[in-house]
Amino acid sequence: MATLPPPQSLYGPAKAATPMARVSPFRQPELHDEASVLPEAAYTHGFESIYALENVDVSTVRPLKGAKPVEEPKPQVATLKVVEKPKPKAPVPEVLEDQLRLDFGAEYRGWMEPFRMNEPIEVLGLSPVALKGLHDNGRQCLRDLLDIDRSQAMKLKGLGQGHIDETIEKLEAYLEGYPRQRANQADFSGLVMSVVGTAEKKSAHLWLSKYKLEDLLPLTAADQAEIRHLNAAQRGELASNIASELAGERTGRFVKGCIQTLIEVFVKPWMRKRQGMASTRELYERLERVSRDAGRARSTLNYVMEVFYQGESPFKKNVTEVEPGIFVVDRYVALAYRRVLNCAKTYFYKDGISYSLAELESYIARECARKWEGFPEGFIVQVLRRSPSFRVRKAENGKLMVRRLWV
């Protein structure tokens, strides 16, 4: 017997019975149907997706990269690589090198221009034609000949290749062993020859013989025979003929400038290492020590002192003399010297008083310190030792005692 299907519900096929279904015959809403259980959605401005970008982690964002064009490989062609050798650097000219340095003066330079470069070209013994041609081209002293080379025969009017060769050969022979740019020693021979180089030879020879410098101008056998036949009066007259020429105002300015440079380069830096003080004897010894010919230094200084400084010491015009025979390097040292000297004299209020050197030094340093005046270590002792106003002698107990010399 055939069975009939179950009756169909008005709401569709029957489902498994649930407790809720058994209580109510109506269809219950399913849990996942949010639209049927949630209230009507609230109002929004529509920018939630834009504001959500504020919470994006920037480190997770990757830039957009386009596809790189694929380059076709180029065919490789064998080439020969040429390696060029680096060009050697041209040496910096000495003149340009000096321009790049800061010049704080001759005292801090440590060198000077050689006196020999100031000598006239007549000292080379050139032929009259070569000598005249060089003068016509403005070449007066040896410094003017340093830039002449053998290829300048066409540039110097009135001079041929033979004259150029003669000038270069005699210049090289005359300057052999002498510096041309910087001199670390004093060349007193060059200083004298710069003055008498253009003078008449026999007269200059007799003039220099008074200062024992006649060997700088050797005479020929004929000239020597001629001079031997002259008496004392004739020799004096011959020497006085060039006195005005060798002691003129222009020559005097040149010589005084050379002496000033000489002292600034070789004397003042040396004095600063010795508390800034030196005696006349020490200054002469210093110049003899820095001279190329120590035996000629004193003779040259005597010649310069008598002719250009009227018998006075050339040091008086270039360094400060604080006491007879005592020189200091500048006015600041002179002021300190006089302060120590005046302070020391106050402790010797009568004859016969003496102090030990260490004791007097401490008294002077203490008194000057009250006035906020200080001195380098050993300066006070040097002033007391050098000053002719005091005498420092060793006593029987071995101490150095200081006494004042009353004049």
Model confidence over 356-381: pLDDT tens digits? Answer: 999 999 999 999 999 998 899 999 99
- Quick one: 279 exposed, middle or buried, by C-beta within 10 A (0-12, 13-18, 19+)? middle
- Answer whether 103-181 and 330-404 agree in fold: no
Q: Does residue 10 surpass a pLDDT of 60?
A: no
* Structural contact between residues 363 and 353, judged by C-beta atoms closer than 8 angstroms: no
Q: Which residue has the higher pLDDT, 334 or 111?
A: 334
Q: Which residue has the higher pLDDT, 58 or 25?
A: 58
* Structural contact between residues 343 and 374, judged by C-beta atoms closer than 8 angstroms: no
pLDDT band, very low/low/confident/very high, at 17 (cuts 50, 70, 90): very low
Q: How far apart are CA 275 and CA 378, in angstroms?
A: 8
CATH number of 103-181: 1.10.150.20
| Adjacency order of strands within the sheet including 277-279 | 277-279, 326-328, 320-323
pLDDT at position 261, please? 92
* pTM, full prediction: 0.69
Q: Which residue has the higher pLDDT, 42 or 303?
A: 303
Model confidence over 174-191: pLDDT tens digits? Answer: 988 888 888 888 999 999
CATH class of 330-404: mainly alpha
Per the prediction, the chain carries an average pLDDT of 81
Half-sphere exposure of 345 (CA within 13 A, CB side): 12
Q: Does residue 70 surpass a pLDDT of 70?
A: no
Q: How far apart are CA 46 and CA 336, in angstroms?
A: 93
Residue with tokens 């010894």: 285
pLDDT at position 282, please? 94
Cα(first)–Cα(last) distance of the chain, in Å?
A: 174
Q: How many residues does the chain have?
A: 407
Q: Which residue has the higher pLDDT, 77 or 209?
A: 209
The mean pLDDT of 15-43, rounded to a whole number, is 49
* Structural contact between residues 355 and 404, judged by C-beta atoms closer than 8 angstroms: no
Q: Does residue 131 surpass a pLDDT of 70?
A: yes
How much of the chain exceeds pLDDT 90, in percent? 29
pLDDT at position 226, please? 86
pLDDT at position 355, please? 92
The mean pLDDT of 29-43, rounded to a whole number, is 51
Q: Among 83-87, 102-106, 145-149, 388-392, which range has the highest average pLDDT?
A: 388-392
The mean pLDDT of 334-338, rounded to a whole number, is 95
Which H helix or E strand runs over 356? strand 354-356
Give the lowest-confidence range in 92-96, 118-122, 290-294, 382-386.
92-96
Report how far apart, in Å, the C-alpha atoms of 148 and of each of 131, 132, 133, 291 are: 14, 16, 13, 29
Q: Does residue 338 surpass a pLDDT of 90?
A: yes
DSSP state, residue 387 = -
pLDDT at position 252, please? 87
pLDDT at position 35, please? 47
Q: Does residue 5 surpass a pLDDT of 70?
A: no
Q: Does residue 248 surpass a pLDDT of 90?
A: no
The mean pLDDT of 125-140, rounded to a whole number, is 88
Q: How far apart are CA 403 and CA 407, in angstroms?
A: 13
Q: How far apart are CA 189 and CA 177, in angstroms?
A: 14
3-state secondary structure of 121: helix
pLDDT band, very low/low/confident/very high, at 38 (cuts 50, 70, 90): very low
pLDDT band, very low/low/confident/very high, at 267 (cuts 50, 70, 90): very high
**Where in the chain are the domains?**
103-181, 185-328, 330-404
Residue with tokens 């310190």: 369
Q: Does residue 19 surpass a pLDDT of 50?
A: no
Q: Which two tokens stand for residue 336?
A: 């300190």
